[in-house]
Amino acid sequence: MDPALLLDPALLWKFCLAGLAVGSIYAIVAIGFNIIYNTTGIINFAQGEFVVLGAMTAISLAGHMPLAAAVALAVLATMLAGALIEIVFIRWLKDASVLRLVIITIGVSILMREGMLHAWDEKMHALPHFSGTETSSIAILGASCPPQYLWVFGTLAVIVAGLSLFFKLTVTGRAMRACAANRTAARLCGINAKAMVTLSFMLSAGIGALAGCVTSPITQTQYDMGAPLAIKGFTVAIVGGLGNSVAAVGAGLLVGVLESLSVMIGCSTYQDGVAVAILMAILVCKPSGLFGSAEAAALKEF
Amino acid sequence: MGPRRYIPVLALAALVAAVERAVALGGAGYYLTQLIMAAYYCLVAAGLCLLMGHAGQISLGHAGFFALGGYTSAALTTHNLLAHAAEPWARFLASCGLLAEWQNVYGVKVLSVAPWAAFAAAVALAAAVAFAIGVPIIRLRGHYLAMATLGFGVIIYRIAAGTDALGRSDGIAEVPPFALGAGLAVGGAAALRVFNYYVAWGLVVLGALVIVNLTGSRVGRALASIHGNEAAANALGVDTARCKVQAFVASAVFAAVAGSFLTHYNGSIGPSEASVMKSVRYVAIVAAGGMANLWGVLLTGAALNFLSLRGVFDTYDDAVFGAILIAVMLFAPRGLLGMPQLRALRGFVGRRLHAGRAA
Amino acid sequence: MPGALLETHALSRRFGGLQAVQDASIAVAADSITALIGPNGAGKSTLFNLIAGSLAPDSGRVVFGGRDITGAAPHAVAALGIGRTFQTTRLFAHMTVLENVMVGRHVRSKAGCIAGMLNLPSTWREERRIREHAAATLADLELGGHMHAVAGTLPFGVQRLVEFARALAAEPRLLLLDEPAAGLNLHETAALGRLIERIRSQGITVLVVEHDMSLVMDISERVIVLDQGRVLTAGTPLEVQKNPDVVRIYLGDDHA
């Protein structure tokens, strides 16, 4: 452990950059949580598995077709899986308690993980870098990093921009927001609330899969990476205030950087410890999140 | 309620003895090993049944408390203090009877904390940790409580898997047996298998007795009222936060006792005991058993753990638990014994009993 | 007010942009039946929740039996002798009627967690006393026949009575009743009125929020009128009925 390393600005920036890249993924997972939470009030514990499923599918497909097509197909396939999960496990439950839903999504995450273990294997896999090779690097403000970082940042930006346009401008997006605000009222206005829930599972599966694909070249992909990703994504969602996707971006980058800096000063032994410690601290001190208002929080069930 | 509520406890004790006799007569004594281990996992599930079923609070971190108990016992009883034997504090501890001298499998003389003292420390530590984290997190509900307890479990796992003194991914081996006097001990010696079977299941029966007592008492009723309607319970003077923390600490103690005993029985403990999947398994057992239905939880726990430990589920071990979780929550949220068909039967029997009592 | 069991002093509570209760000062005389009335949204339930500790006031004080209980937690308020029922009946639906009422004895008993686990002789003796008292309370309200029924399965009117029994089992000094007549028919309402008077005759002070004016005028000695979070007026039922401000808020300006 050498905190003195923090005084070297070039090194510091390099680690921050890595943190931002990882944090982008956390932010995307958190946005996935938020989409489903907003329309259903459910935290989908299988969110991390969507990321892995997307990446694994793309890796398998990449051998047979161009990378872009493989990624697109993988995202579509994962969206389909998301819809299927909602239809089979969630849709027909009436007045299910939170405890019941939590346990069901945990069960789903276990089945998905074990399914992926048997469908693929326990080895690390990776997609090729989207541009350049493993050894190519670009410089961002003086620090060299793989060009894949730009893909990650770009994906986050596109997802955030795309989602906010979708929710603001399209009829479907507005209908989903209406469901989030008041499901009964939305149904009375003629909105098909059930379809909106399915759609929210598809959307969050899709962006999860996309996140899995863009990070696979950097972090590699293994069947059991879903759970830690889900915990970190949830941490980010909580830090930003559950349901608030814009805040989740800030929170994701923050958690990513803090985690990266903790690795820099040598705390890598307890890898997930930093994120989980942040999670516990926020849950205990301010469950409405750093950016959440206490007023709005009073309406939620902590 | 009265003394009638103790009938299932007696039935459990009889069943435990009957299974042992049957196994002995069938010449399948080797089954006892898995039954012993299953008993300790059942003890964890029983504590969790109190927390989830009666107090209505989820915990996805109970493997953490099990590991806390197991690792504390393992670390204290294997850390060799021989080099410090002459120092005043060691002499003081020894004079209090807190230290024990023994030889490990390599014939090396070891002076360490006595197993019973380590056990007491393990339980006290688990209770203290449960209290310390319980006070702030137990006021959280639903998803938030689930994630907070999950977070606790992850931290314990990381500590177990990342700390040199705890053996990192290898865990701690060469844990001595827990001598109980008269040549009897909690340990893996084949000659003591039947004795260990009765110790393990005796603890489960004792745990069941404690839970039956508690749920029929003032605090148990308060817990049930919190589960029913927290605001109303509060307005009747039930200190809901206090009751929930008590249930949390009690269930953590169950887990720590199980962890400590199983570690002595196995002679070792590794970080997998602290893993999130283990915590989820305990939840699966409690859910499948019917949450508040202690007998359902114990039966399911015994059956599933026994089959799992026998390797029946092969590489689909975790998948089986995941599938059980989903199936039970989808089709029988009151647990397997609470399914409509069975409930109708129980209702019938119950009415007959009731009629018999009234007559 | 001398002889007041409960007083609030300039109690205020705001929810976001809504001032639910503002500078509310009320007094409830010991051994009286006092009614709290007002149109919907006048802040009656908020005032109840402020007294019972379910909400903390932004400012002001609550004094019960000469003791400042402002900001005390609901369970602490209950332990001091304030019982309550809810606007929508909140029984423990999965527990039996007897068990529901036994929870009501919580503040009058003391066996802790460990004593419960060990079931010491003192514990089961106390448990027997709790059971006997709860059964007697039920018998007193003529609910003995429902004793072993699961609370959630009972008809609505009976559930409300069970909630009364549960609150009474704690032997409170002050009972807060939130719209006890809501959803009851004429016959049941009349019986309720008699029950409330009988409760008072046992030395329990009653503060009741109620919309049923005939019930309010029948049973209460004093009526407090809330409007838009403020105390509009207070007095005997007759005085309040004649007050032009009260007529205006209930019937509109035309009738003033």
**How far does CA B88 lie from the centroid of its chain?**
37
Does the distance separating the beta carbons of A276 and B325 come in below 8 Å? no
C232 and C110 part of one domain: no
Distance, in angstroms, between B82 CA and closest chain C CA? 39
C156-169 helix and C97-104 helix, angle to the nearest 10 degrees: 30
C111 and C136 part of one domain: yes
C71 and C126 part of one domain: no
Report the distance separating Cα A251 and Cα A27, nearest Å.
Answer: 7
- Between the CA of residue A235 and those of A23, A276, B146, B156, C19, what are the distances in Å? 11, 7, 13, 17, 35
User: Cα torsion for A148, A151, A152, A153, to the nearest 10°?
Assistant: 120
Distance, in angstroms, between C174 CA and closest chain B CA? 13
Q: By residue range, what is the domain housing residue C110? A: 93-155
Using a 10 angstrom Cβ sphere, with 0-12 exposed, 13-18 middle and 19 or more buried, the burial of residue A150 is middle
Does the distance separating the beta carbons of B232 and C91 come in below 8 Å? yes
- Note the pLDDT of residue A300: 46
Residue C160 resides in a domain: no
C199 and C219 part of one domain: yes
- Note the pLDDT of residue B359: 41
C76 and C100 part of one domain: no
C62 and C112 part of one domain: no
- Note the pLDDT of residue C199: 93
Amino acid at residue number A128: P
Residue C51 resides in a domain: yes
- Note the pLDDT of residue A181: 75
Report the distance separating Cα B134 and Cα B62, nearest Å.
Answer: 12
Query: By CA distance, what is A288's nearest residue in B?
Result: B144
C77 and C102 part of one domain: no
Report the distance separating Cα B124 and Cα A67, nearest Å.
Answer: 57
Does the distance separating the beta carbons of C86 and B231 come in below 8 Å? yes
Mean pLDDT of all residues in A28-36: 92
- Between the CA of residue A297 and those of A292, B141, C20, what are the distances in Å? 7, 13, 19
Interface of C with B in 5-64 (CB under 8 A): 52, 54
Please state, as a whole number, how many other Cβ atoms lie within 10 Å of the Cβ of residue A251.
Answer: 27
ipTM of the complex: 0.91
Nearest to B21 by CA among B7, B32, B36, B10: B32
Amino acid at residue number B225: S
- Note the pLDDT of residue B33: 93
Amino acid at residue number B61: G
Amino acid at residue number B101: E
Report pLDDT digits (tens) over A196-236: 889 999 999 999 999 999 999 988 899 888 888 888 898 89
Structure token pair of residue A236? 């980010």
Distance, in angstroms, between B51 CA and closest chain A CA? 13
* For chain A, percent of residues with pLDDT exceeding 90: 37
pLDDT at A169 over 70: yes
Report pLDDT digits (tens) over A73-131: 999 999 999 999 999 998 888 777 777 888 899 999 999 999 999 999 889 998 888 88
Contacts of A284 in chain B (CB under 8 A): 136-137, 148
**Which among A47, A100, A280, A286 is the top mutation candidate for probing chain B, defined by the most B β-carbons within 10 Å of its own β-carbon?**
A280
- ∠ at Cα C77 (C71, C78), nearest 5°? 155
* Domain ranges across chain B: 2-358
Query: By CA distance, what is B333's nearest residue in A?
Result: A100
Interface residues of chain A, partner chain B, Cβ below 8 Å: 43, 89, 93, 96-100, 102-104, 106-111, 113-115, 117-118, 227, 231, 234, 238, 269-273, 276-277, 279-280, 283-284, 287, 301-302
User: Structurally, what CATH architecture does the domain formed by A3-297 represent?
Assistant: Orthogonal Bundle (1.10)
Nearest to A68 by CA among A184, A174, A213: A213
- Between the CA of residue C196 and those of A121, A293, C28, C200, C218, what are the distances in Å? 72, 43, 16, 6, 11
Report pLDDT digits (tens) over B297-306: 999 999 999 9
C75 and C133 part of one domain: no
Q: What is the value of pTM for the model shown?
A: 0.90
Contacts of B235 in chain C (CB under 8 A): 52, 54, 74-75, 78, 83-84, 86
pLDDT tier at C2, thresholds 50, 70, 90: low
C188 and C218 part of one domain: yes
- Note the pLDDT of residue A289: 75
C109 closest CB neighbour out of B218, B229, B234: B218
Report the distance separating Cα A96 and Cα A76, nearest Å.
Answer: 29
Contact in structure between A3 and A265 (CB atoms under 8 Å): yes
- Averages of pLDDT over runs of 10 residues in chain B (359 residues) are 83 95 89 95 96 90 97 94 87 87 84 94 97 88 85 90 89 91 86 94 97 93 92 94 95 98 96 93 91 91 92 87 88 71 57 50
3-state secondary structure chain A: CCHHHHHCHHHHHHHHHHHHHHHHHHHHHHHHHHHHHHHHCCCCCCHHHHHHHHHHHHHHHHCCCCHHHHHHHHHHHHHHHHHHHHHHHHCCCCCCCHHHHHHHHHHHHHHHHHHHHHHCCCCCECCCCCCCCCCCCEEECCEEECCHHHHHHHHHHHHHHHHHHHHHHCHHHHHHHHHHHCHHHHHHCCCCHHHHHHHHHHHHHHHHHHHHHHHHHHHCECCCCHHHHHHHHHHHHHHHCCCCHHHHHHHHHHHHHHHHHHHHCCCHHHCCHHHHHHHHHHHHHCCCCCCCCHHHHCCCCC
Distance, in angstroms, between B350 CA and closest chain A CA? 28
Mean per-residue pLDDT over chain C, rounded: 91
Report the distance separating Cα A48 and Cα A230, nearest Å.
Answer: 5
- Note the pLDDT of residue A6: 67
